[in-house]
Amino acid sequence: MDSESHKSTADKLVYMANQIATFFHTQPKDEAVAGVADHINHFWEPRMRAQFFTILEQPDNGLDPLVVEAAKHIRKPGPVPV
Amino acid sequence: MSLIQEIDYGTPASTSEKMITLTIDGNEVTVPEGTSIMRASMEAGIKVPKLCASDMVDAFGSCRLCLVEIEGRNGTPASCTTPAVEGLVVRTQTQRLKDIRKGVMELYISDHPLDCLTCAANGDCELQDMAGAVGLRDVRYGYEGDNHVFAKAGVVANDRWLPKDESNPYFTYDPSKCIVCSLCVRACEEVQGTFALTIEGRGFNSRVASGARESFIESECVSCGACVQACPTATLTEKSVIQIGQPEHSKVTTCAYCGVGCSFKAEMRGEELVRMVPWKDGKANRGHSCVKGRFAYGYSTHKDRILNPMIREKISDPWREVTWDEAYKHVANEFRRIQYQYGRNSIGGITSSRCTNEETFLVQKLVRAGFGNNNVDTCARVCHSPTGYGLKQTFGTSAGTQDFDSVEHTDVVIIIGANPTDGHPVFASRLKKRLRKGAKLIIVDPRRIDLVRSPHVEASYHLPLRPGTNVAVVTSMAHVIVTEGLFDEKFIRERCDWAEFQDWAAFVSSPEHSPEAIEQISGVSPQLLREAARLFATGGNGSIYYGLGVTEHSQGSTTVMAIANLAMATGNIGRKGVGVNPLRGQNNVQGSCDMGSFPHELPGYRHISDESTRDIFDKLWGIKLQDEPGLRIPNMLDAAVDGTFKGIYIQGEDILQSDPDTKHVAAGLAAMECVVVHDLFLNETANYAHVFLPGSTFLEKDGTFTNAERRINRVRKVMSPLNGYADWEVTQNLAKAMGLNWNYQHPSEIMDEVALTTPSFAGVSFDLLDREGSVQWPCNEKAPLGTPIMHIESFARGRGKFIRTEYVATDERTGPRFPLLLTTGRILSQYNVGAQTRRTDNVIWHEEDRLEIHPHDAEQRGIRDGDWVKVTSRSGETTLRALITDRVSTGVVYTTFHHPTTQANVITTDFSDWATNCPEYKVTAVQVGASNGPSDWQVKYDEQARQSRRIAPVLDAAE
């Protein structure tokens, strides 16, 4: 791509997840993990979450530790109905 | 059908609750104290002759026609300026009054042309009516004397005569017909609040002047039409009436421009629209209008409208006109093929904030029930999605809390990131009216918008913050309010969660949120910020109005929460004059959100994961809804680039022009195999479309729009769709082609389905709307006539929730390569991507988008006013002409995005709100430099657009 703002979808997902974490970092501690997980469960389409789990498995994935912690509460997407 | 005639009571209604009784012409009349005798008479059905009075403006008492006699009082007082008092005995018709009135009319007519038969106001002229009412039969003075009527007095020029001013594209000013009643001057002052008109001279030399004796177009006139509406003669007349003649029937409908949602009478002759006149009973606009709704409807019959469906294999091919059936079949086959090949979730749809609720409901239904997925989104994604999220979190409902009437009761107004005089002009006029009566104003905006200082209105504080620092500034206002003990403890204890408040209060109280600390970030003077916060907390009813300058940021949702916090902390929720009021961009942004256009929500803001809600639709539609959220617009484009999203149905949106990072949008669209655009014109998005379905205008369909105050207003069909079908019919036919068993005969049946499935709309029906005019949701058993003000006794979510709002700088930062911050906005005469307004005479006010730049920044770069400049960001570059002004601070540049050639969104980035992906339009780091003309991208784009709009000639059957 011909300019620096055009990131891959994976880069964008990491960026978005970290943005969400940034907000919840400022919220009371006990709400932060659930806050991140709920937000992603509520608003991320299954293929976004599937990509997210792929990213999660990679070393140096760039994800905020809060996102990593929240990951166990993020729903694994099921198969797409035909 | 007939012409709707509104009663003019002559003077505004009194709001007093004390009633008094008087006798007028032998009839006992009971009216609120403070009512004029003229109005009291009209209430009793007695029309006192008048020329200078209207219930839209205060009484003036200059025409001397409305005189009455009162028992026990001397003389013949003017009924418009004389208040009704308990026990008065009034006579409106006596020999003495008759003589005086006839004498007055004789004088008027002696200086008025007698060309009634060829006059544009013939049949709609109050002067003519009054001559009839007083029985004028003769003008003893003749017409030869001093006058304003004739260009020549004998053979010499008549110095009093002035030529017609036809400079405004929509109305003319003919001084020879003016009776100097000053209604136009007062309408401009009191209704519009622009003060563009005045009466110059005295006595017989008096005349109406626009500006400092300039033509209307050169004056400050904003072309709202209030003066034209007020004029009792043909002095100020719509050009359309001059060309067509008087209308013969009318219907009340709703404007299709901004989120104010003004009610208009569409005045017709046959199927030809003669004029749009604001409707006095319209509860959003109360009889007022702006240049767009009043005049800029010419696009509806513009030659650029596409009236036949078209398809093409590749986007490099010319378009081929086809029958509707062929088009539907083609789309259905393509969408089914794509789903078979790439999976059920490989297609989606975008609903339109410019279409009706019913049409929007159908598009999301088509996606959910027909496509079998939840990949539906709407343009609110790019404007007010953070409002939905933020207010839902804090209050429990994704909508503004007040009605527009509420502004009449406010004492202190904060406006953040909105420019109402340009973006929401009729609301601005209503606000200015309140400000002139003493309410205080605080403006938080990087740019010096008109409301900061305009005739008879001056903001107490303007906090010119750096773009992107809203959260810091609003949180700091909360810091002042909490640390200085100015919060409303009683309200908070009663209505909010006290523990959450304490957590929040401790958070905002920390020194890093003090105005002194955040000055570094925001550039706002701590002293001003402190004073503004104190004023808001202690000045009485405090209301907050905001626009896209709040939402279109990385922290858009956080700012909305900060605003909600501020309102709760000061106890400014749940009554008249207060509240949190998002000014919605498009006519039906609120409605499109209400109707379930978001991929995670069913109609009425119910999450798709909620089984009981899905169950309602599953049963009614005979399907099984997916329980997972679908893709949002930016996610759809990402998925398209990744190859998993291949087809889209876009109704009435131009994402290529309106969405950020144009190159990415173009790449996403180009990667799809079937792009269906359903629109009035071959818009920019259509350059990448394979199927074009012609759309219809708001004049051509029945339905409803929901405005920024949650008001559901009727849209009424006044002419047949030029393309043959209203948009809801097109969607329905497409659904049928895809095998869905839909059979709506009228949009009212669609609203019935909304009511059946959505608790907040349970009471809404077209019958109710026709009866009541409009209602504000929630409208159900608990509130059968709707809900003007929300959260009166408790919040929709129970207790109001305070949420910490930490400022986080956007990653879009200035630096040596991109030292300036670009922010964007709207101008009065144009609307959104300009598809409509650019196809009207409104272009004379704004032919092109300009880059506003501070003289200092311009000087440094050697840029002169009007020069072509290149604007470069990390995303791309574009060129436009510079406008040097100190309305923007140093370091900030500003432009509008109404013209496709400007390509403002080539430079905006893909940063977006953390919660909703609403793009960060309002902050882009840029560099500005001299340029010779259009950028390579602009040249390439123009060529592609030109190629893409080719339509293959239809072959004659004989050939």
Give the architecture (CATH level 2) of B19-93.
Answer: Roll (3.10)
Of A26, A28, A46, the CB nearest to B806: A26
pLDDT value at residue B569:
97
Q: What is the 3-state secondary structure (H, E, C) of B712-772?
A: EEEECCCCCCCCCCCHHHHHHHHHHHCCCCCCCCCHHHHHHHHHHHCHHHCCCCHHHHHHH
Torsion of CA B839, B843, B846, B851, to 10 degrees: 40
Q: How is the beta sheet containing B674-679 ordered, strand by strand?
A: B320-321, B310-311, B691-694, B674-679, B647-651, B347-351, B376-378
Whether the pLDDT of residue B458 is over 60: the answer is yes
Distance CA B679, CA B676 (A): 10
The percent of residues above 90 in pLDDT, for chain B, comes to 87
pLDDT value at residue B956:
59
- Does the CB of A82 have a partner CB in chain B at under 8 Å? yes
Mean pLDDT of B270-295: 96
CATH for B152-301, among 3.30.70.20, 3.30.420.40, 1.10.287.3510, 3.30.365.10?
Answer: 3.30.70.20
- Residue of chain B whose Cα is closest to the Cα of A10: B638
HSE, side-chain direction, 13 A CA sphere, residue B463: 32
Torsion of CA B495, B499, B500, B503, to 10 degrees: 140
Distance CA B146, CA B370 (A): 75
pLDDT value at residue B175:
96
How far is C-alpha B148 from the chain's CA centre?
40
pLDDT value at residue B391:
95
- Residue of chain B whose Cα is closest to the Cα of A17: B914
DSSP B896-950: E---TTT-HHHHS-S-B-TTT--B-TT-EEEEEEE-SS--HHHHHHHHHHHHHT-
CATH class of B319-383+588-776: alpha beta
Per the listing, tokens 């910490």 go with B804
Contact B632 A43 (CB under 8 A): yes
Chain B positions touching A7 (Cβ under 8 A) are 910
Dihedral sign computed on CA atoms, order B860, B825, B835, B389: positive
Lowest-confidence region among B45-54, B431-440, B890-899: B890-899
Shortest distance between the Cα of A82 and any Cα of chain B, in A, equals 6
Lowest-confidence region among A4-18, B350-364, B616-630: A4-18
Shortest distance between the Cα of B270 and any Cα of chain A, in A, equals 49
Contact B876 A22 (CB under 8 A): no
Tens-digit pLDDT profile for residues B306-339: 999 999 999 999 999 999 999 999 999 999 999 9
Shortest distance between the Cα of A68 and any Cα of chain B, in A, equals 17
Whether the pLDDT of residue B285 is over 80: the answer is yes
The percent of residues above 70 in pLDDT, for chain A, comes to 93
Tokens matching residue B277: 């006149």
CB-based contacts of B157: which residues, under 8 Å, 6+ apart? B151
Of B558, B635, B874, the CB nearest to A48: B635
Chain A positions touching B875 (Cβ under 8 A) are 3, 5-6
Confidence of residue A50 (pLDDT cuts 50, 70, 90): very high
Of B599, B609, B661, the CB nearest to A5: B661
Count Cβ atoms within 10 A of the Cβ of residue B643 and give its class: 0-12 exposed, 13-18 middle, 19 or more buried.
exposed
Lowest-confidence region among A70-79, B127-136, B689-698, B830-839: B830-839
Tokens matching residue B308: 């036949």
CB-based contacts of B747: which residues, under 8 Å, 6+ apart? B356, B358, B359, B701, B702, B703, B704, B726, B728, B766
Of B632, B638, B909, the CB nearest to A9: B638
Distance CA A41, CA B608 (A): 11
ipTM confidence score: 0.94
Mutate to test the interface with A, among B377, B628, B910 (most CBs of A within 10 A): B628
CB-based contacts of B552: which residues, under 8 Å, 6+ apart? B382, B383, B913, B918, B919, B920, B921, B922
Contact A80 B343 (CB under 8 A): yes
Of A16, A22, A80, the CB nearest to B344: A80
Whether the pLDDT of residue B957 is over 60: the answer is no
Contact A3 B599 (CB under 8 A): no
Domain spans of chain B? 19-93, 152-301, 319-383+588-776, 396-573, 820-947
- What CATH number is given for B396-573 in this structure? 3.40.228.10
pLDDT value at residue B239:
97
Tokens matching residue B705: 């729009």
Count Cβ atoms within 10 A of the Cβ of residue B108 and give its class: 0-12 exposed, 13-18 middle, 19 or more buried.
buried
Per-residue burial over B1-12, b = 16 or more CB atoms within 10 Å of its CB, e = otherwise: eeebeeebbbbb
Residue B956 DSSP class? P
Give which of B534, B333, B509 is closest to B414, Cα–Cα. Answer: B534
Whether the pLDDT of residue B106 is over 60: the answer is yes
Distance CA B902, CA B634 (A): 22
Tens-digit pLDDT profile for residues B704-749: 999 999 999 999 999 999 999 999 999 999 999 999 999 999 999 9
Count Cβ atoms within 10 A of the Cβ of residue B342 and give its class: 0-12 exposed, 13-18 middle, 19 or more buried.
middle
Chain B positions touching A12 (Cβ under 8 A) are 638, 910
Distance CA B322, CA B838 (A): 28
Shortest distance between the Cα of B538 and any Cα of chain A, in A, equals 29
Mean pLDDT of B848-877: 93
Contact A4 B803 (CB under 8 A): no
Residue B752 contacts residue B770 (beta carbons within 8 Å): no
Confidence of residue B924 (pLDDT cuts 50, 70, 90): very high
Give which of B92, B100, B102, B5 is closest to B40, Cα–Cα. Answer: B92
Shortest distance between the Cα of B732 and any Cα of chain A, in A, equals 24
Shortest distance between the Cα of B914 and any Cα of chain A, in A, equals 5
Peptide bond into B599 cis (omega under 30): no
Whether the pLDDT of residue A57 is over 50: the answer is yes
What stretches of B204-263 show up as alpha helix (H) in DSSP? Answer: 226-230, 239-244
Tokens matching residue B595: 């109707």
Shortest distance between the Cα of B344 and any Cα of chain A, in A, equals 6
Whether the pLDDT of residue A1 is over 50: the answer is no
Shortest distance between the Cα of A59 and any Cα of chain B, in A, equals 22
Q: Is B378 helix (H, G, I), strand (E, B) or coil?
A: strand
Chain B positions touching A44 (Cβ under 8 A) are 629
pLDDT value at residue A5:
47
Chain B positions touching A10 (Cβ under 8 A) are none
Mean pLDDT of B123-127: 95
pLDDT value at residue A4:
44
Distance CA B414, CA A55 (A): 44
Contact B641 A77 (CB under 8 A): no
- Residue of chain B whose Cα is closest to the Cα of A11: B638
- Does the CB of B192 have a partner CB in chain A at under 8 Å? no
Q: Does domain B820-947 have CATH number 1.10.3470.10?
A: no
**What is chain A's alpha carbon radius of gyration, rounded to the nearest angstrom?**
13
- Between B511 and B848, the higher pLDDT residue: B511
Tens-digit pLDDT profile for residues B498-521: 999 999 999 999 999 999 999 999
Q: Which amino acid is at B186?
A: R
Chain B positions touching A39 (Cβ under 8 A) are 915
Confidence of residue A3 (pLDDT cuts 50, 70, 90): very low
Per-residue burial over A1-10, b = 16 or more CB atoms within 10 Å of its CB, e = otherwise: eebebbeebb
Shortest distance between the Cα of B799 and any Cα of chain A, in A, equals 18
Contact B663 A6 (CB under 8 A): yes
Mean pLDDT over all residues of chain B? 94
Contact B641 A9 (CB under 8 A): yes
The percent of residues above 70 in pLDDT, for chain B, comes to 99
pLDDT value at residue B958:
53
Mean pLDDT of B110-130: 95
Tens-digit pLDDT profile for residues B646-679: 999 999 999 998 888 888 899 999 999 999 999 9
Tokens matching residue B189: 């002052």
Q: Is B238 helix (H, G, I), strand (E, B) or coil?
A: strand
Shortest distance between the Cα of A33 and any Cα of chain B, in A, equals 15
Contact B639 A9 (CB under 8 A): yes
Angle ∠(B38,B44,B46) on CA atoms, nearest 5? 60
**Looking at chain A from residue 17 to 76, which residues have their Cβ under 8 Å from any Cβ of chain B?**
19-20, 22-23, 26-28, 39, 41-48
Tokens matching residue B357: 């609720």
- Does the CB of A3 have a partner CB in chain B at under 8 Å? yes
Mean pLDDT of B35-63: 96
Tokens matching residue B17: 């609750």
Of A2, A7, A22, the CB nearest to B914: A22
A–B interface: beta-carbon pairs under 8 A: 87
Distance CA B220, CA B37 (A): 35
- Residue of chain A whose Cα is closest to the Cα of B561: A23
pLDDT value at residue A6:
56
Chain B positions touching A16 (Cβ under 8 A) are 912, 914, 917
Tokens matching residue B763: 């009471």
Mean pLDDT of B20-33: 97
Of A5, A9, A26, the CB nearest to B642: A9
- CB atoms < 10 A from the CB of B281, how many? 14
